[in-house]
Structure 1
Amino acid sequence: MDDEAMIAQRRGAMTGGTPPGRSRGRLADEVYDTLLGQMMSLRIEPGSRVTIDVLARELGVSQTPIRDALNRMEAEGLVVRVPHAGYRIPPQITRHRFEDMLEVRLLLEPAAARRSAERATLEQVAGLRRMLEEMAELEGGDGLMAYGAFGLRDAAFHDLIALSAENQVIREALARLHTHVHLFRLLHDTQVTHLAMAEHEEVLAAIAARDPDAAAYAMRRHILLSGERFRRLFDEVKDADGMEA
C-alpha cells in the first residue's frame, strides 16, 4: 500500500466515508486527517510554513474547513500560528512535553492492547500483520522519506489497535501523540530500527493469541523501550547543541 492509499484508508476509517451534503464539521475532520497524513509522509515538512489559501486550493475546499482544522491543530500543538504569515509546523517537541506524552501513552496504550486482544476481528488482526509486513520492507531505509513512510505505517499500526479496542476517545488521543513523536524523530533519527519491529511483533502475537495480559505487557514494554530510545535522542541533540554553541 502506498502512502496516499494509507492516508486515505486512515481518513476513511475515521470519518466513515464522505457522503454528499457532508457537514462543515465532517469536512474539517477530513482536512485535519489529510494534513496529519501529509505531515507524517513528509509532504509537509517540519519547520515549513502553511497558509489557508494555499491549502484550500490544493485540497479543493473552501477556507472555512481549512481554518477549523488548523485551529484544532494549533490547540494540539501540531502547528504554530505566525501573525500575518499563516501557520508553521513546529520542528520538535520539548523533552518535558515528551515525558508528559509518554506518561499518557503508558496509561492508554496497554489498556487499548488489552481490549484489542479481546475484541479485534480476524480482519483487523490481518490488517495489523499487513502493516508490519510493509514496515519490514522499509526496515533499514535511510533518510527522511524512508522514515516518513515507516512512521506513517507505525502510526496506522497503533491506530488500528486502538480502533479494534473499540474506544474512540483513546484512539483520538493517541493519534495526535504519535504525530508529535514521529515529527521529532524525523529531525533527529531517521534510521528505521529493527528494535521497534521486534516489539511490534510481540504486541501482535499477543493480540492474535487472544491473550489480554500478554498484549498489555508487550505494549507497555514497547512504550518503555521506545521512551529510552527517545531519551537518548534528546541527550544527543542537547550535546550537539552544546558543541555548536
Structure 2
Amino acid sequence: MVKDLKAEGGSNSWLVRRPPRLGDEVYNAIYAQLMTLKIPPGGRISVDSLVRELGVSQTPIREALSRLEALGLVVKTHLIGYSAASQMDKARLQQLYELRLLLEPFAASRAALAMSDDAIEMLEKIDHEMRTTHHEDPRQAYGQFAQSDSAFHDLVAIGSGNVLIHETLTRLHTHVHLFRLFFHARATTDANDEHARIIAAIKQKDAALAEAAMRDHIERSRKRFMGIFGGE
C-alpha cells in the first residue's frame, strides 16, 4: 500500500521510493563477489540466485549487472545471460598498459593544475583508506584495496577536466584489478608509496612532476604484473 505522504506534509504522495542507495549496495555486493573470485573469471552469473542471496528483486540486480557490463567486468550473451569477464592474457595486458601510459600521465599533469583543494583532500582520504585496509581474508582485503585504487585513479582522471580521458580510464582499471587479484591476492606497499608521490606533485601544482610520478607508477605496475608471465 502506498503511504500518503501529503497528509504528513509531503508533496509527492503518489511516489513509491526504494530504500536509499539500494542500487549501489547491490552493485557493491556483486562487485565484491567478482573481486574475491566467488564469481570466477568466465563464471556464469545467475540473476535468480542473486535474488535469493541478496534478498532483493531482479530490478536492482539487473541494473547493477548493466553497470558492471559497461565497465567490462560482466558480459551479457544473447539467450544465455550474464557471466563474469574472462581473465586477461599477456598481450591484452600489455596493450592496456600502453594505453594507460598514453593517457594517465597527461591526466595527472592536467589535474595538478586544475584540481580543487576539496578534490585533493578526497585524494588524500582515499590514499589513507588504501594504507589502512585490513581483513583476515587477503582476497577480501585486496577487493577493498582495489575499489579504493580505482577511486584514486578515477579522481585524478576527473581532475584532469577531460571527460573522454575519464570515460576511457574508467573502463580500463577494473580489468587490471581482476588481473591483479587472480595472480596477486594482496595489496603491496609499493602502490601506496607511488600514489603518495603523485599526490605530493598535485598538491604542489607541479604538472611536470605529476606527469612523471604517474608515468613511474604505471611503469612499475606494468613490470610487477608482466613479470608474472616471465618478462615485460
Classify 1:67/1:200 alpha carbon distance in 2 versus 1 (closer, same or farther; 3 Å).
closer
Is 1:180 the counterpart of 2:164 in the alignment? no
Task: Flag structure 1 segments of 5+ consecutive residues without an equivalent.
Answer: 1-19, 22-28, 237-245
Which residues of 2 match residues 166-245 of structure 1 at below 5 A?
A: 166-235=161-230
Out of 45, 52, 57, the position equivalent to 2:39 is 45
Classify 1:208/1:103 alpha carbon distance in 2 versus 1 (closer, same or farther; 3 Å).
same
The answer to whether the Cα contact below 8 Å between 2:34 and 2:84 also exists between their aligned partners in 1 is no
Give the letter for the 1:46 counterpart: P
Cα deviation, residue 144, structure 1:
0.5
Matched residue of 1:45: which SS? Answer: coil
For residues 211 and 141 of structure 1, the distance between their equivalents in structure 2, rounded to whole angstroms, comes to: 39
The answer to whether the Cα contact below 8 Å between 1:81 and 1:87 also exists between their aligned partners in 2 is yes
Cα deviation, residue 118, structure 1:
0.6
Classify 1:40/1:149 alpha carbon distance in 2 versus 1 (closer, same or farther; 3 Å).
farther
Is 1:161 the counterpart of 2:156 in the alignment? yes
Matched residue of 1:172: which SS? Answer: helix
Cα deviation, residue 56, structure 1:
6.3
Give the letter for the 1:119 counterpart: A
Choose 1 or 2 for highest CA Rg: 2
Matched residue of 2:132: which SS? Answer: helix
For residues 110 and 82 of structure 1, the distance between their equivalents in structure 2, rounded to whole angstroms, comes to: 35
Match of 2:85 in 1: 90
Identity across aligned pairs (percent)? 35
Task: Flag structure 2 segments of 5+ consecutive residues without an equivalent.
Answer: 1-14, 17-22
Give the letter for the 2:114 counterpart: R
Cα deviation, residue 42, structure 1:
3.5
The answer to whether the Cα contact below 8 Å between 1:31 and 1:65 also exists between their aligned partners in 2 is no
Task: Calculate the aligned-residue CA RMSD, in Å.
Answer: 3.5
- Which shifted more, 136-145 or 97-106? 136-145
Aligned residues: 211
Which residues of 2 match residues 95-134 of structure 1 at below 5 A?
A: 95-134=90-129
Match of 1:12 in 2: none
For residues 152 and 68 of structure 1, the distance between their equivalents in structure 2, rounded to whole angstroms, comes to: 16
Which residues of 2 match residues 13-92 of structure 1 at below 5 A?
A: 34=28, 37-38=31-32, 42=36, 45-47=39-41, 48-55=43-50, 58=54, 60=56, 63=59, 66=62, 69-70=65-66, 73=69, 77-81=72-76, 85-92=80-87
Give the structure with the higher percent helix.
Answer: 1
Matched residue of 2:230: which SS? Answer: helix
For residues 129 and 35 of structure 1, the distance between their equivalents in structure 2, rounded to whole angstroms, comes to: 25
TM-score where L is the length of structure 2: 0.75
Cα deviation, residue 177, structure 1:
0.9
